[in-house]
Structure 1
């Protein structure tokens, strides 16, 4: 087996925006280096000062160096059909693969990470950075933070790994079924392997144990594994992968429960990488207020941060449809409900009643709305065979969820409420449960006014 042992220097920490400033490749046959290549590269962008001070590579040094397009054929020839080896392999591979793809070359090769291999073969070292490993194992390293110096140190380390690999970890890592090469640097493979193929919510944590991402899954093992397959080259993806150190999870009886728990946990924890679910879900609400003449008025408005609506809607027309229904059923004034936006409405008579009389009709309309809001439970599979999962909507709002024994008859609302765990009501959660109940009416149990 032939290995290409690689190190690069760059202008920044992620492949889609940064550029390569230096490349070193040592081709190794498992016993010795049989070919090598190293060069500075013109990145076509300024090198940040802190990187200049760390690597010693300045803008002047790369000004006359070849651009990557000029060396791409040679780099591809050196890497193709070989095992790509590097210390923190996903970093080097993402940069080189991105640069080669922009030149029309595609790498489809296996990878080995000397960080992960060293953790397996030389356990218990105080640190697994390249410099500290070399100190611990007495491996010579010169010209630190330059591509050739670090790549040669990686060659010496890899030879030591080959010699001491008594458990055949290298063979295991290279098997087609192995996910090791795609995993975050500090995440033990065992944490992926131990995940169940059941619904639930998973938590990615950083080195301090802080939750940085929350997700839901129909199959925890499959979904978590999918995060680390063919890792992207963008800044956020690369930072995300680099920061995952630990995974924890909670099992759920159904995918619906997992979706509800995910939404709740995101709103509670606000993980840094959960960006899509941090937005306001329902944009419109039904509001009640008293005007200067003492009339209680109803209005459909965009949701306001510090005002609580009587009811919420995803679309404005849904709100107007409900409000028109209230106007017609309770003889309310379209003008006082801000429904007089057409010429026909302008011709309608204004309110003749005194505020006290009119306001009673508004109160009746709101009470009817409240009374007609549904109370129902959605029943599904439990975590254990002898239980059901249960999510409860009470008077149109999400009450909570939990698990009930299959021996228990789901008839009395007060009894169920004692068993379930209360949750904070949420527009998005409520909508998910309503839609699920509509799609699967056989799993819905309705309750009358109690």
Structure 2
């Protein structure tokens, strides 16, 4: 659990500042579950340059509560939370100073989004909150006011969590949280799980990830894990003490993140080398007469394939479908081994390439259209899918035929700059599994929006 906050102060000498405004959002890693926002009477004069910066003046704070009047609420909303702030050392120091004046020792773990941003989003021109979030396409309002800055920090932290593919933030958080050993721990883990699409991480007591999975309904999937009585499930049930989640909104992002993060984190109960999810691939060659032929064979990593299939039955089904859709010859697709014309020519679905009635040039145009629609080769594009919230969309970035990563953008912020798009992308590895996942998903989800990068 995180307490994401921002504080405005009077300015002045070190450790003599007073709080003028505070905003705290309690964030469970998925959603904001509580919030506290208030002006505060600092009982001291605000520096003129601070008034110009924030717009908060002494007159505005005359009837605001004093710090001791809100101290109990601050303790309540931050209990068992990690403090998160942009330049956390400042905000945490100010809070500790105010509580110290009341004779109370305020201690919490803290995370700084400036430090995290420098590690996870390198090479930015500036890491000040305003410039950073604008460069990342994160909307911000009421700059230099506690609530506006805190809301922007929440959005930034969500981006940082998604970019933290090694899950160091989450592991450290789980390690520092108080462990409550209860007899019905599995039931409680299920009760608190979301029903959304995403990736889930099972942790043992020291925070180590022991299993990673994905689901369109995480709560339902956990229920299956914790009610299964096979040997592996029982071992997981004995060891798991916490489950964390990353909501993706998009099933495609969940599939890609699950595949990537199992390889990165090598959880105990995920097979270290997962069996490849496909064994058939589509290849092309040009025959002596100049016609492009398509052929399904066992996947061979030494060859460049157009696309891949889970098994031969799936491949054959798609080949028949494509022959009909593109008016292609069954002979040139390995579906008809007869010596005369193919069956599709008989029913007027083939235009006669198999008996020389259609030129190779004309026929090959349709084959190339099929190849272009199903291959990532030399493609520069973004694939748009569902986001985590109603005002958000997710995207997959592909450049020069290589999968680069995933990200999210707000619907109110038009992404039309490839550099901004790259900066908010969580980099991921291009490999056989990722390529198969993307091609299979695009093949079966025809309503996906695919935009060539040159059209941004």
Q: TM-score, normalised by structure 1?
A: 0.41
